[in-house]
Structure 1
């Protein structure tokens, strides 16, 4: 019973975080990409590709996470396991976001040096 409650909490929070962060990064990413690339059509295309890859990667990680879920036997374990799994999702989102920003920045600098 605790596992099912833990799954529901984890899935609800993870989907909300994934969708909300993806939407915010998509909206804010438009102006960042336009600043870097100066081509609105290319920026929109890159932004959509990044959003699609972001959703696929995160939803895949969430699905794999469920496959390796520990058995939860008490309320304390439910809170602990669920919080750790949600924390991993948040950390992965943060790392992916900054990797994208730095990659685009360095690619822009490399293109302007030529």
Structure 2
């Protein structure tokens, strides 16, 4: 924008990025206040634009866990396991959650 203030695409992307940064701050505040429903809602909006944001997916998975929605937590953890090669921590957590959900067979794979 500094070199070409008339670039509408750059301006649009800059505005989206600015909004996403503010939404991340709101999500962190919601998480700190243990408002997991709001945290999930805010993080979901961000993840639509940044599907590769591993830390945000992990935080959303944790919020799903604390809200009792294990299936969605597993889904987010599986995504992080694919994004980080050899993510043994995610695989362990997925396994434990599947076992807790009563899916012992899948927890072993």
Same fold (TM over 0.5): no
Calculate the TM-score normalised by the size of structure 2: 0.32
Q: Which has the higher contact order (CA 8 A, sep 6+)?
A: 1
